[in-house]
Amino acid sequence: MGLQHTDAPPPRPMPPAGAADLAAVMSRPHILFRDTAPGSAFGRLAIAPLDDLAARLLMAPSCQRVSFAAGRGLCLQVNRGLLNTYSAVLLGDHLEPGTAFKLQGLPSRTRVAPDGRVGAITVFVVGDDYAAEFSTRTTIVDLSSGDEIGELEQFATWKNGQRFRATDFNFWGVTFARDGTTFYASLRTAGVKYLVRGELALRKLTVVRENAECPSLSPDNRLLAYKKRVGPSPDSWRIHVLDLASNVERMLDGETRYVDDQVEWLDATHVLYAIPRRTTSTADVWALPVDGSAPAQLVLPEAESPIVVR
């Protein structure tokens, strides 16, 4: 379906990392992620220094997806019970849980803007009155309060210089630029998937190209990585990179497996992404150079939803 449906048994209690240990890791470049090791830690938020990824620490919250930047973050949660409910929790500068608010469906994607002011949340929803492969809702929120700024379906969409409207619009996979107002996302309508560029201040979306999903901007905002369908099967996605200045696109040949994830940039030359293991809820994070100089490497076993914090 192009978006991950991830679920697993609830974790059993385990003491979180101590304040001193956590502060030591957060004082240097690090990575946040969702722990997928089988057992009591499954689903917990974890952290590891970039120079020693094996030294992971477990946090108190359980997160289905996580994102963080400039001292603010989002942890999307599944609250399991007779009927599952879903929520988003704001994270403070020391990753402490803050305000929580209800989500309308199963968490799928989340990203925080580089300046930490806003974040995007995508969930799967049911009950929409049109036929589609899936139905999503993507919302931009103010991270200082948790207040909703707007759903992308409420924004004005333009294609080839004309307004573009349809009842079956679905948006997902937001990535924010450094300027705090420009962003990119995926749009699906009438069976076609598009890459759109958004202007938050104008509440405007512009179609950029077809067949590009789950975009992710490089730290210098020069490159845009995304997954692109390359075959007829439903899961035949390969990672591509678009040079925004030249509009030249190329596939990353160092990864030959199908990748169903929104990549994260490790640095200006490498992307990170999760690949699930077969017949299990465990996933692993791999790194891939965007210049094609080497094949993908396993860098973080039993993990997903990686976010690099410098």
pLDDT digits (tens, 9 = 90+) for 121-166: 999 997 555 455 679 999 999 999 999 999 999 999 999 999 999 9
SS3 content of the chain, % helix, strand, coil (to 5): 5, 50, 45
193-230 residue pLDDT tens:
999 999 999 999 999 999 999 999 999 999 999 999 99
pLDDT tens-digit map of 245-260:
999 999 999 999 999 9
Strand, helix or coil for residue 113: coil
- Which two three-digit tokens encode residue 299? 């860098």
Encoded tokens for 44: 């917990």
pLDDT per position as a tens digit, 52-81 = 999 999 998 999 999 999 999 999 999 999
State the residue for tokens 């120079």: 51
Cα–Cα dist 8/283, whole Å: 12
> Stretch 158-187: mean pLDDT, rounded?
97
pLDDT at residue 308 is higher than 90: yes
Which of the pair, 109 or 4, is modelled with greater confidence?
109
- Helical segments of the chain, H only: 19-26
Is residue 3 scored above 50 in pLDDT? no
Distance CA 175, CA 119 (A): 9
Q: How many residues does the chain have?
A: 310
Q: In this structure, what are the phi and psi dihedrals at residue 24, rounded to the nearest 5 degrees?
A: -65, -40
Beta-bridge partner residues of 287 = 272, 297
The chain-wide mean pLDDT, for the chain, equals 93
> What are the boundaries of each domain within the chain?
104-309
Question: Strand, helix or coil at 75?
Answer: strand
What are the angstrom distances between the C-alpha of 9 and each of 168, 243, 303? 33, 41, 16
CATH architecture label of 104-309: 6 Propeller (2.120)
Could you give the angle at the alpha carbon of 236 between the alpha carbons of 234 and 240, nearest 5°?
135
pLDDT tier at 234, thresholds 50, 70, 90: confident
Under 8 Å between Cβ of 147 and 140: no
Question: What pTM did the predictor assign?
Answer: 0.93
